[in-house]
Amino acid sequence: MAKPEVVLITKSNCHLCADARDAVGRVTSALGLGWTEQLVDDLPELRERYAEEIPVVLVDGVQRDFWKIDEARLERVLQRTMAG
């Protein structure tokens, strides 16, 4: 079973980002997966690319959701990815 790479792109002082952290944490935890967070504050190329869409969830480098994270959709994407 493949372990997808889950990355949450956030920025400082973002209430949607706090909600997204909780959502991604719940979904990945239930599936036994980890995830990482990248702040656009630290990475100008991400800030330029995702400026109006933050927070953003990437699964294996592909944008899967932004703003309000749909937990059911994220779970489906991760399950499909793990199934290969």
Q: Where are the domains of the chain?
A: 6-83
Q: Say if domain 6-83 classifies as CATH 2.40.128.50.
A: no
* 74 contacts 22 by C-beta, under 8 angstroms: no
Tell me what pLDDT residue 2 has: 81
Question: Per the confidence metrics, is the pTM higher than 0.85?
Answer: yes
Tell me what pLDDT residue 84 has: 83
* 75 contacts 27 by C-beta, under 8 angstroms: yes
Q: Whose CA is closest to 24, among 65, 61, 71, 64?
A: 71
Q: Whose CA is closest to 59, among 83, 36, 31, 43?
A: 36
Tell me what pLDDT residue 25 has: 98
The pLDDT tens digits of the residues spanning 61-83 come to 999 999 999 999 999 999 999 99
* 55 contacts 16 by C-beta, under 8 angstroms: yes
List, for the chain, all residue ranges whose pLDDT scores fall below the cut of 70: none
| DSSP per residue, 44-73 | HHHHHHHTTT-SEEEETTEEEEESS--HHH
